[in-house]
Chain A
Amino acid sequence: MSRGRLTAVFLALGLGFLWMPVLLLAGYAFSADRIPFQWGGFSLRWFGVLAANERLVEAALLSLRVAFGAATLAVLLGGTFGWVLARRGPFRGRAIFGALAGAPLVLPDVVIGLALLLFFVLLQSGLGWPAERGATTILLAHATIGAAYAAVLVQARLAELAPELEEAARDLGATPATAFRTVTLPLMAPSLAAGWLLAFTLSLDDVVVASFVSGPAGTTLPMQVFSMLRLGLTPEINALACVILLLGGVALAAALLLQAGLRRRTRAD
């Protein structure tokens, strides 16, 4: 067998391994049977059960709210970090700035979660803020993590853009602020959009950090699913996975198309 074919076989095997459990999970969502992964004829009943599960729906709404806020804050922060690291030039403390901006990428979730929780607890006993832990603390934690990812994307994007573009704008009469608004920002936009999507997804997917920094008031969707999974799998989770698969596919396709489109438009041959 030629090596080209051998690697193709591995690629197929690997993709099959990644896809098989997901497809089975989504497929059995349409089974009427009470026991997950048992075929009991086609039915949409579990989607109805899912929609009627108030705790899940409530948790999902909280998760979406938190993810939206966290992603937006993460893009503002990550855009700042990325710009500072790529364009600001040398300043005192740049190395520490870079290390801290990238730290959430390499710290295990349990450490980030524990650290932020302890920090919030001390803040509360010292300043009285945050008064209670929940949506706000999760949002802040997720924004901090998402910002690290957004910063990487923004920094990489700025690195591939020639710095002369800003200089050309200045030479043609643009003030620094105008040059940023008319040249740098539009060129950064795809990385900001990608960073937002990534931060949004990370927030929707996180169970560990959220469990640490949340309080009794805030149960996110992953926290709720995690506590259900501890007791075993139910067909509701099949249905939920099916919904997430659909939304995730649409979001990822949109992200890839967006990126490809902007690449074509803004990349020098």
Chain B
Amino acid sequence: MRRLLPLAGGAWLAGFVAAPLLVVLVLAISTAAEGVPPFDLPWIGGISLDAFSLVLTDGFYVESLGGALLVAGGAATLCLLLAFPMALGLTRARPTWRGPLLFALLLPFWTGFLPRIGAWIGLLRDEGWVNTVLENLGLISAPLPLLYSWPALFLGMLHAYLPFAVLPLYASLSRRDPVLEEAAADLGATPWTVFFSVTLPLAIPGAAAAFLLVFIPAAGEYVIPELLGPPGTPMVGRVLWQEFFQNRDWPTAAALAVLLLALLLAPIRLFQRLGTRR
């Protein structure tokens, strides 16, 4: 068993994780072609760097890569700003309350990703709940264009990823030794000083993990910009999808995937280092 299990597991990983990632790389240096499937492999059509040069020189693709990183960074920052006090609140809640509060945090997350996005559509569209309420209160006369906008996109991101940010922060904050904060108070620190000089610095690894746990998937997000964001949102996940499904330009889609991975490599490494350290 000690020999068999690493071999069997390794075989699956080689087949279903390593090989597909290698195939993406191969596709990115293939040529697009008419037909099914719509490409010629390098040993048939020759090695081609067309897809990479297109993606790296055309402002549209570069913008989609940069846009994705900016949106992901923004979303992760928003999540962190709200998640930190929430996680702190969870650690300070009475022990009997913690279980139900965690349940409350996780349940919306288990209601299905798409229904939750659908809820925001229902809230934000022109004849949606928010506009109706505002109109009934007499605050606006014509509906505000809330849906398909940047704020809608960020609201959706925040809603989808907030629990991901709270959990690692809660885990790291609840492991902190309360004696450290008592020691700081004993040495003359006010509650706020204790927070900024002890609690916050000790939470940095947890906060970094929380940030990256949002940032990494958000950078490749497709569904939220597609359903809530402004038309033509420049995010690489969306552009990749379009290249693949609408333009049927598989090498370009593969090149975009390779570049997205290259950009995410550093954050991923950092995230894994944080994970092994804890």
Do A and B come together as binding partners? Answer: yes
In the assembled complex, A51 has its CB within 8 A of some CB on chain B: no
- Chain B interface size band reads 35 or more
Give the docked Cα–Cα distance between A212 and B20 (Å).
13
Let me know if A28 and B1 touch, CB within 8 A: no
Let me know if B17 and A24 touch, CB within 8 A: no
In the assembled complex, A84 has its CB within 8 A of some CB on chain B: yes
Question: A6 is contacted by which of B17, B21, B85, B104 (Cβ under 8 Å)?
Answer: B85
Give the docked Cα–Cα distance between A93 and B18 (Å).
13
- Dominant secondary structure at the A interface: helix
Give chain B residues whose Cβ lies under 8 Å from the Cβ of A24.
119, 122-123, 129
> Known: A21-B159, A97-B13, A233-B125. Is A114-B114 also a contact (CB below 8 A)?
no
Let me know if B118 and A241 touch, CB within 8 A: yes
Give chain A residues whose Cβ lies under 8 Å from the Cβ of B86.
7, 10-11, 14-15
> Known: A10-B82, A37-B129. Is A77-B120 also a contact (CB below 8 A)?
no
Binary interface encoding of chain B residues 80-104 relative to chain A, with 1 for a CB under 8 A from any of its CBs, else 0: 0011011011101100000101111
Question: A11 is contacted by which of B101, B119, B257 (Cβ under 8 Å)?
Answer: B101
Give chain B residues whose Cβ lies under 8 Å from the Cβ of A37.
122-123, 128-129, 132
Let me know if A11 and B89 touch, CB within 8 A: yes
> Known: A25-B119, A118-B27, A229-B227. Is A101-B257 also a contact (CB below 8 A)?
no
In the assembled complex, B145 has its CB within 8 A of some CB on chain A: no
Q: Which of A17-38 contact B (CB under 8 A)?
A: 17-19, 21-22, 24-25, 28, 35-38
Give chain A residues whose Cβ lies under 8 Å from the Cβ of B183.
none
Give chain A residues whose Cβ lies under 8 Å from the Cβ of B227.
226, 229-230
Complex interface: stretch among B48-56, B200-208, B217-225: B217-225
Let me know if A180 and B1 touch, CB within 8 A: yes
In the assembled complex, A216 has its CB within 8 A of some CB on chain B: no
Complex interface: stretch among A41-49, A164-172, A188-196, A242-250: A242-250
Of A18, A144, A256, most buried by chain B (CB within 10 Å of CB) is: A18
Q: Which of A218-263 contact B (CB under 8 A)?
A: 222, 225-226, 229-230, 232-233, 237-238, 240-241, 244-245, 248-249, 251-253, 256, 260
Question: A244 is contacted by which of B88, B115, B121 (Cβ under 8 Å)?
Answer: B115
Binary interface encoding of chain A residues 103-135 relative to chain B, with 1 for a CB under 8 A from any of its CBs, else 0: 110111111101110110110010000000000
Give chain A residues whose Cβ lies under 8 Å from the Cβ of B105.
15, 18
In the assembled complex, B76 has its CB within 8 A of some CB on chain A: no
Give the docked Cα–Cα distance between A107 and B271 (Å).
12
> Known: A35-B127, A108-B237, A229-B227. Is A248-B122 also a contact (CB below 8 A)?
no
Let me know if A80 and B17 touch, CB within 8 A: no
Let me know if B24 and A111 touch, CB within 8 A: yes
Let me know if B119 and A15 touch, CB within 8 A: no
> Known: A17-B162, A229-B227. Is A109-B112 also a contact (CB below 8 A)?
no
Q: Shortest CB–CB separation between residue A111 and chain B, in angstroms?
A: 5
What are 29 A-B contacts defined by CB distance under 8 Å?
A2-B191, A3-B195, A7-B88, A8-B93, A10-B85, A11-B89, A11-B93, A19-B104, A21-B122, A80-B8, A84-B9, A100-B13, A101-B13, A107-B220, A108-B219, A108-B260, A108-B264, A110-B240, A110-B260, A111-B220, A208-B222, A222-B113, A225-B114, A225-B115, A233-B125, A244-B111, A244-B115, A245-B115, A253-B103
